[in-house]
Amino acid sequence: MSAAGQDQSTLFRGDEGELRLKNAKSVRGTPAKAMPAFILGEELADLADNDPRIVVATADLANSSRARDFANRHPDRFIDFGIAERNMITAAAGMASCGLVPYVATFASFAGILAAEAIKTDCAYPRMPVRVLAHHSGISMGFYGTSHHATEDLGMMRPIADLTVVCAADANQLRAILRASVDHPGAMYIRLGRGRDAEVYGEVPADFALGKATTLRDGTDLTIIATGSQVHASLMAAQKLGETGMSVRVIDMHTIKPLDGDAVRAAARETKAILTVEEHNVIGGLGSAVAEVLVDEDRIPFRRHGIHDEFSLIGPPAALYAHYRLDADGITAVAKEFLQIN
């Protein structure tokens, strides 16, 4: 209780009076149809129908990730480790050493940050084919706060040798990533949103390839290189900028490592400026990876956009995206400021 007698728990939850910020659809028990991008359980179950090597594990989050959909169809190949993320990833490495292909799902804050050492030592170093499904990445956990926000995970995963790092933009691209991952050599870190990602790809992209960026829109004035949740918002921003006469290229850099350097270099030579957009700290993630490519190129106006080296605030996801200018309007405004357009 506060000094004024207010129950602070209702304020934190955002479900009191004028401060009622919680979407009613976000309560416990949200139906699968409200999380259209969370198809990982369904897709992995389909793949497992014809591949006995595939197993799935979670750390007490079978419903949050929809891994439950896999468990319902393949209960003998599903393990819930409880709240023991590091143990789960180490055990997955053991399963991989026996010829299985384990997919382990938990919040990105627990996978890429809490269990980083297990990913490095147990999975990447011995080149075990463990696929870490890091869902609810970035600031998508909203009211759960800093301990559950994952705005540093890409910066922690990128330097790990022999680890492939991928971000899914929507459900159809996630299907493509999962299909490509089955026989991919070595360990993988697959970063996901919270299941409500807007559609970018109308169907599963037939030409998807790990390490090969996708150009979704061509242009000559500016290139926006985005990843994960920011791909759709960047496309909407490009449309808004196009209405003002700007020609904007949008690249979906789904694979953060290995990065498609050719796509970056082409953008540097064929467009006038580059803006990276990510739901992550601007240090260590997509922006840093692109900068590492550009340092060897002729100088071009370049700006990183994301969380600017701070612990993210607590609040509903939609409000946080607006605050950090990671929605379509915010990205549009950042692009105009960058290019000094009124």
CATH of the domain at 224: 3.40.50.920
Q: Residues 135, 226: one domain?
A: no
For residue 96, what is the domain's CATH number?
Answer: 3.40.50.970
Q: Residues 187, 218: one domain?
A: no
Q: Residues 124, 246: one domain?
A: no
Q: Which of 69-78, 87-96, 233-242, 314-323 has the lowest mean pLDDT?
A: 314-323
**Complete DSSP assignment for 134-198:** EES-BTTTGGG-TTT-BSSHHHHHTTSTTEEEEE--SHHHHHHHHHHHTT-SSEEEEE---S-PP
Contacts of 21 (CB under 8 A, 6+ apart): 14, 15, 315, 316, 319
Instruction: Tell me, yes or no, whether 179 lies in a domain.
Output: yes
Q: Which of 66-75, 97-106, 248-257 has the lowest mean pLDDT?
A: 66-75
- What pLDDT band is residue 291 in, cutting at 50, 70 and 90? very high
Give the residue with greater pLDDT, 317 vs 23.
Answer: 317
Supply the pTM of this predicted model.
Answer: 0.88
- What pLDDT band is residue 279 in, cutting at 50, 70 and 90? very high
User: CA-to-CA distance for 112 and 157, rounded, in angstroms?
Assistant: 7
Instruction: Tell me, yes or no, whether 205 lies in a domain.
Output: no
Q: Residues 187, 226: one domain?
A: no
Query: Per DSSP, what are the bridge partners of residue 248?
Result: 222
3 state SS of 332: helix
13-49 per-position pLDDT tens digit = 444 444 344 444 444 444 555 555 579 999 999 999 9
- Which of 190, 204, 42 shows the shortest CA–CA distance to 112? 190
Residue that terminates a domain, selected from 191, 222, 254: 191
Give the residue with greater pLDDT, 197 vs 102.
Answer: 102
| pLDDT on residue 66 | 87
Instruction: Tell me, yes or no, whether 161 lies in a domain.
Output: yes
Amino acid 212 reads: K
| pLDDT on residue 8 | 35
Count of residues making up the chain: 342
- What pLDDT band is residue 278 in, cutting at 50, 70 and 90? very high
Instruction: Tell me, yes or no, whether 56 lies in a domain.
Output: yes
Percent of the chain at pLDDT exceeding 90: 76
Q: Residues 258, 161: one domain?
A: no
Instruction: Tell me, yes or no, whether 3 lies in a domain.
Output: no
| pLDDT on residue 16 | 44
Instruction: Tell me, yes or no, whether 133 lies in a domain.
Output: yes
| pLDDT on residue 342 | 66
Q: CA–CA distance from 68 to each of 64, 80, 281, 283, 294 (Å)?
A: 9, 10, 31, 35, 43
Q: Residues 138, 63: one domain?
A: yes
**Complete DSSP assignment for 228-275:** TTHHHHHHHHHHHHHTTT--EEEEE--EEES--HHHHHHHHHHSS-EE
| pLDDT on residue 132 | 97
Amino acid 173 reads: Q
- Which of 145, 48, 60 shows the shortest CA–CA distance to 100? 48
Q: Residues 126, 259: one domain?
A: no
Residue that terminates a domain, selected from 127, 160, 191: 191
144-158 per-position pLDDT tens digit = 878 889 999 999 999
| pLDDT on residue 196 | 82
| pLDDT on residue 231 | 97
Query: Per DSSP, what are the bridge partners of residue 239?
Result: none
Q: Residues 36, 181: one domain?
A: yes
User: CA-to-CA distance for 85 and 114, rounded, in angstroms?
Assistant: 8
Instruction: Tell me, yes or no, whether 209 lies in a domain.
Output: no
Mean pLDDT across 203-218:
96
Q: Residues 40, 102: one domain?
A: yes
Q: Residues 291, 331: one domain?
A: yes
119-145 per-position pLDDT tens digit = 999 999 999 999 999 999 989 888 887
Q: Residues 219, 183: one domain?
A: no
User: CA-to-CA distance for 272 and 339, rounded, in angstroms?
Assistant: 10
Residue 149 domain boundaries: 8-191
| pLDDT on residue 26 | 43
**Complete DSSP assignment for 71-112:** HHH-GGGEEE--S-HHHHHHHHHHHHHTT-EEEEEEEHIIII
Instruction: Tell me, yes or no, whether 202 lies in a domain.
Output: no
Structural domains in the chain (count): 2
Q: What is the DSSP letter of 123?
A: I
152-178 per-position pLDDT tens digit = 999 999 999 999 999 999 999 999 999
Residue that terminates a domain, selected from 156, 191, 226: 191
Q: Residues 60, 112: one domain?
A: yes
